[in-house]
Chains A and B, each alone.
Chain A
Amino acid sequence: MATITTSGLTKSFGPVTAVSNLTVELPSGVVGLVGANGAGKSTLIKMLLGLLSPTSGGATILGFDCLTDGLKIREVVGYMPESECLPLDISATEFLVHMARMSGLPADSARERAADTLRHVGLYEERYRPIGGYSTGMKQRVKLAQALVHDPKLVFLDEPTNGLDPAGRDDMLGLISRVSSDFGISVVVTSHLLGELERISDHIVVIDGGVLQRSTSTADATQFAGSLLVEVTDRADAVIAKLREGGASVAEGRNQGSFAVELTDDDVTGTVVAAVAELGVGLVRLQRKRHQLSEIFATNDSPVEVAS
């Protein structure tokens, strides 16, 4: 069930093409958007919100036409910008009520939903103090709250973990997952950090230089590859030798003590465990290797066809 569909979407500013012939379908759930830096990403979002007309091509979002239904779209979509955008001299509560009203909510609903949304993003007594005194993590939460307060069907989150330390990042990622799974709101999130996207996205779209590079479900992009990662405490060379004697194909790893065994039809796992037990060595890791999103970037020099 697609939330956003683009077909041949193109936007040029004179000689510069920010978005080039983009044809892609984004499903519901959490969609990660990578690679589009600067002009391409913000241009795409503006077009999807109905704020900018494309040079050619079109797009629909939640069934609405981006060219003609801009106002309707902006009633049911939320946006969390990357940039600083919060007024510093009023409280989170005041700010959120105002934003809720600006999204079309009547006064009473605006007040109630503002209070509720602040609770959902984890802001408690802080909400009565001016935003200027908040930490980066709290400010990001307020930014997220204004995108959710009017119960949108879909939210755009632009680099939501920017400036957060690892603990804050963790919290924000958990919150984003909840937005999709518990609140039932579709999410399009942009990030530079592939590990984050692998963690929370159901689907990944890679855009580079305005051109679509890949559109794939995270599951497909992180499928099992054909080898077994093994890590032992010591005497890795002895274990490797033993496995090779048995006919296994083994590649040494970057770190001492780790190696990869090619998975064949035989019970490779069993063979490895047996070898390790026999040699009296400790087994630190035994894992089926998975593909990673970073592989898309390592080999990519030209656009690849859409997968999935």
Chain B
Amino acid sequence: MTSQESAVTPDGVATDSVIHDIGFRHYDGPRLGRGWAFRSLFYETLRGSFGLGRPAKVKIMPWVLIVLFALPSLVMVAITILTASEELPLSYTMYPVAISLVVSLFIAGRAPYAVSRDLRDGIMPLYLSRPIRRQDYVYAKLLGLSAAVWIFVATPVTILFIGALLAKFSVKDAIFGWLGGLLMAAVLSILLTSISLVLASFTKRKGLGVAAVLSTLILLNGFVAVLVSVVDMQSSETAASYFAVLDPYMLVDGLGAAWLGVDTTFLYSQPDGALGAVYYSAVLLVVVTGCVAILLRRFKKVGGV
């Protein structure tokens, strides 16, 4: 907006004063379309998972949990260095599934924030009237929350990596171990996110969503733990390993063993040879795609324009 250097008032007097036009401005700039909208929703979900862009009290829970989850890894690093131990007490792939309760707490708290809140607010008509497709909403939420969980899980894994370097372990081993840990963290994130979003998408009330996700994850954990030992008693360890896939943490644990050859955390989550590896991978694929399909179906029905 350029202001004139000297204007002239209606009665012919020159003046330096000027009135700027602050009326409605039209927008002639770029409209970045679907891809940008998708990214924006992704970032908003990711940021929202850590309470950024929200009032302070919403930030408390996620950050407390991050610290809680990372603390043991700091302690482990300290112990390893101080006792001049030859390896970390928990490996990069073992850590997240061993301390699974804290992970469950985190995602149980964040999944409703990603989805139940939108359902309760009734915001879908506003999104749908924008240049995205219905499925974009689901995928953006999935990716956003998965990214948040991955960051959550990757933090102590990375702390262990730094610790390994400080303890002067083999750099090559440390790097490969860390990358493997990050990969399995990603798999765990996507799996847990898919399941949690499906559960959260069936309720508008955040509290109910949190309870549903948390109780499902904890009950699965407990139930499967009993199941596999019973199967082992009745049959064999190998047979038990086929049932271990019912718990998401055991499933990821087994996948780590199958794909990366690392040790499993749990006794019964060791897949049985090549067949077992295929079986574990197939279960992962089926569960994730099944959950995505349910979510797409869910948001086709709910709260359209």
Contacts and interface: CB of A to CB of B under 8 A. Distances in A.
Interface stretch (A69-77, A235-243, A290-298): A69-77
A84 to B, nearest CB: 5
Interface in B1-44: 23-27, 29-34, 36-37, 40-41, 44
Nearest to A90: B54
Interface in A91-119: 94, 98-99, 101-106, 109, 113, 116
B32 A99 contact: no
Contacts of A85: 121-126
A245 interface: no
B36 A116 contact: no
A151 to B, nearest CB: 4
A102 B305 contact: no
Interface stretch (A7-15, A42-50, A260-268, A276-284): A42-50
Contact of B53 (A90, A103, A120, A146): A90
Nearest to B133: A71
A224 interface: no
A7 to B, nearest CB: 22
| A83, A85, A99, A120: residue with the most chain B Cβ atoms closer than 10 Å | A85
B132 interface: yes
B122 A83 contact: yes
Contacts of B40: 98, 101-102
A46 B304 contact: yes
B32 A49 contact: no
B144 to A, nearest CB: 13
A88 B131 CA distance: 24
A130 B27 CA distance: 27
A78 interface: yes
Contacts of A86: 121, 123
Contact of B31 (A79, A105, A113): A105
Contact of B41 (A102, A182, A184): A102
B276 to A, nearest CB: 45
B149 to A, nearest CB: 21
A189 to B, nearest CB: 15
A77 B26 contact: no
Interface residues of B, number: 37
A46 B305 contact: yes
A226 interface: no
B172 interface: no
A102 B132 contact: yes
Nearest to B31: A104
| A76, A89, A94, A150: residue with the most chain B Cβ atoms closer than 10 Å | A89
A175 B123 CA distance: 23
B58 interface: yes
A71 B128 CA distance: 10
A104 B122 contact: no
Nearest to A112: B25
Contacts of A49: 128-129, 305
B139 to A, nearest CB: 14
B24 A102 contact: no
Interface in B25-80: 25-27, 29-34, 36-37, 40-41, 44, 53-55, 58
A81 B33 CA distance: 22
Contact of B37 (A78, A83, A94, A104): A104
A101 B53 contact: no
| B34, B41, B305: residue with the most chain A Cβ atoms closer than 10 Å | B305
Nearest to B117: A87
Contacts of A79: 125-126, 129, 305
Contacts of B131: 71-72, 74-75, 103-104
Given A71-B34, A85-B125, A104-B33, 8 more contacts: A49-B129, A51-B304, A71-B131, A79-B125, A84-B122, A98-B44, A103-B131, A151-B26
Interface of B: 23-27, 29-34, 36-37, 40-41, 44, 53-55, 58, 117-118, 121-133, 304-305
7 contacts: A46-B305, A81-B126, A83-B122, A85-B123, A101-B40, A105-B32, A106-B32
The 8 closest A-B pairs by CB, nearest first: A151-B27, A79-B129, A101-B40, A104-B31, A183-B24, A81-B125, A74-B131, A104-B32
